Amino acid sequence: MKYAVALRNHPTYWAFVLHRVSGLALAVFVPVHLYTLSLAVEEAARFDAFLEWTEAPAVKIGETLLVVLLAGHMVGGLRLLALEFLEWRDWQKSVVAITLGIALVCGLLFLMNAF
Protein backbone atom coordinates (compact mmCIF):
# COMPACT_ATOMS: atom_id res chain seq x y z
CA MET A 1 0.00 0.00 0.00
CA LYS A 2 2.79 2.40 0.88
CA TYR A 3 4.42 1.66 -2.48
CA ALA A 4 1.21 2.54 -4.38
CA VAL A 5 0.96 5.89 -2.59
CA ALA A 6 4.61 6.65 -3.40
CA LEU A 7 3.96 5.98 -7.08
CA ARG A 8 1.13 8.50 -7.10
CA ASN A 9 3.27 11.20 -5.51
CA HIS A 10 5.71 11.36 -8.39
CA PRO A 11 6.04 14.11 -11.02
CA THR A 12 5.56 11.69 -13.89
CA TYR A 13 2.31 10.41 -12.37
CA TRP A 14 0.96 13.96 -12.22
CA ALA A 15 2.13 14.51 -15.81
CA PHE A 16 0.10 11.40 -16.71
CA VAL A 17 -2.95 12.79 -14.88
CA LEU A 18 -2.59 16.21 -16.56
CA HIS A 19 -2.34 14.58 -19.97
CA ARG A 20 -5.49 12.49 -19.43
CA VAL A 21 -7.55 15.30 -17.88
CA SER A 22 -6.53 17.77 -20.56
CA GLY A 23 -7.39 15.21 -23.24
CA LEU A 24 -10.86 14.72 -21.77
CA ALA A 25 -11.43 18.47 -21.49
CA LEU A 26 -10.36 18.99 -25.09
CA ALA A 27 -12.61 16.13 -26.22
CA VAL A 28 -15.55 17.95 -24.59
CA PHE A 29 -14.49 21.27 -26.09
CA VAL A 30 -14.18 20.15 -29.73
CA PRO A 31 -17.91 19.51 -30.35
CA VAL A 32 -18.78 22.85 -28.72
CA HIS A 33 -16.22 24.57 -30.92
CA LEU A 34 -17.57 22.91 -34.06
CA TYR A 35 -21.13 23.92 -33.11
CA THR A 36 -19.96 27.51 -32.64
CA LEU A 37 -18.33 27.47 -36.07
CA SER A 38 -21.57 26.18 -37.58
CA LEU A 39 -23.34 29.23 -36.11
CA ALA A 40 -21.03 31.46 -38.13
CA VAL A 41 -22.19 29.77 -41.32
CA GLU A 42 -25.88 29.25 -40.61
CA GLU A 43 -27.03 31.78 -37.99
CA ALA A 44 -24.98 34.97 -38.15
CA ALA A 45 -27.08 36.87 -35.58
CA ARG A 46 -26.68 34.14 -32.94
CA PHE A 47 -22.97 33.97 -33.74
CA ASP A 48 -22.63 37.73 -33.22
CA ALA A 49 -24.41 37.40 -29.85
CA PHE A 50 -22.05 34.58 -28.94
CA LEU A 51 -19.04 36.74 -29.83
CA GLU A 52 -20.34 39.50 -27.55
CA TRP A 53 -20.70 36.94 -24.73
CA THR A 54 -17.07 35.86 -25.21
CA GLU A 55 -15.89 39.32 -24.15
CA ALA A 56 -16.87 38.58 -20.52
CA PRO A 57 -13.91 38.23 -18.12
CA ALA A 58 -15.07 34.79 -16.94
CA VAL A 59 -15.03 33.54 -20.53
CA LYS A 60 -11.53 34.97 -21.01
CA ILE A 61 -10.38 33.06 -17.92
CA GLY A 62 -12.01 29.91 -19.30
CA GLU A 63 -10.27 30.40 -22.64
CA THR A 64 -6.99 30.84 -20.81
CA LEU A 65 -7.55 27.58 -18.94
CA LEU A 66 -8.31 25.91 -22.26
CA VAL A 67 -5.04 27.21 -23.74
CA VAL A 68 -3.13 25.92 -20.70
CA LEU A 69 -4.83 22.52 -21.08
CA LEU A 70 -4.04 22.46 -24.80
CA ALA A 71 -0.39 23.35 -24.20
CA GLY A 72 -0.19 20.83 -21.36
CA HIS A 73 -1.69 18.14 -23.54
CA MET A 74 0.71 18.92 -26.36
CA VAL A 75 3.84 18.83 -24.21
CA GLY A 76 2.50 15.76 -22.39
CA GLY A 77 2.20 14.04 -25.75
CA LEU A 78 5.77 15.03 -26.57
CA ARG A 79 6.83 13.60 -23.20
CA LEU A 80 5.11 10.31 -24.07
CA LEU A 81 6.89 10.22 -27.41
CA ALA A 82 10.19 10.75 -25.61
CA LEU A 83 9.35 7.87 -23.25
CA GLU A 84 8.60 5.63 -26.20
CA PHE A 85 11.67 6.42 -28.27
CA LEU A 86 14.38 7.45 -25.78
CA GLU A 87 16.01 5.64 -22.89
CA TRP A 88 14.90 6.69 -19.38
CA ARG A 89 17.11 9.26 -17.72
CA ASP A 90 16.78 11.09 -14.41
CA TRP A 91 16.58 14.42 -16.24
CA GLN A 92 13.14 13.44 -17.54
CA LYS A 93 11.66 14.45 -14.16
CA SER A 94 12.97 17.94 -14.85
CA VAL A 95 11.36 17.85 -18.29
CA VAL A 96 7.99 17.31 -16.59
CA ALA A 97 8.47 20.52 -14.60
CA ILE A 98 9.65 22.40 -17.68
CA THR A 99 6.64 21.29 -19.72
CA LEU A 100 4.27 22.41 -16.98
CA GLY A 101 6.03 25.77 -16.97
CA ILE A 102 5.69 26.04 -20.74
CA ALA A 103 1.97 25.30 -20.52
CA LEU A 104 1.48 27.97 -17.85
CA VAL A 105 3.49 30.54 -19.83
CA CYS A 106 1.33 29.85 -22.91
CA GLY A 107 -1.77 30.48 -20.82
CA LEU A 108 -0.33 33.66 -19.32
CA LEU A 109 0.61 35.02 -22.75
CA PHE A 110 -2.88 34.25 -24.00
CA LEU A 111 -4.44 35.95 -20.99
CA MET A 112 -2.28 39.05 -21.44
CA ASN A 113 -3.37 39.21 -25.09
CA ALA A 114 -7.07 38.64 -24.20
CA PHE A 115 -7.53 41.85 -22.23
CATH of residue 83? 1.20.1300.10
Predicted TM-score (pTM) of the model is 0.66
List, in order, residues 6 or more apart from 21 with CB less than 8 Å away: 69
In a domain, 91, yes or no: yes
Domains in the chain, number: 1
Comparing CA positions, the residue from 27, 30, 16 lying closest to residue 100 is 16
Q: Is residue 70 part of a domain?
A: yes
| Res 2: pLDDT | 62
Q: For residue 45, what are the domain limits?
A: 17-114
Residue 48 lies in a domain: yes
Indicate whether 11 belongs to any domain: no
Would you call 54 helix, strand, or coil by DSSP?
coil
Per-residue confidence (pLDDT) for residue 6, from 0 to 100: 62
Whether the predicted pLDDT of 9 surpasses 60: yes
- Please tell me the distance from the alpha carbon of residue 100 to that of residue 67, in angstroms, as a whole number: 12
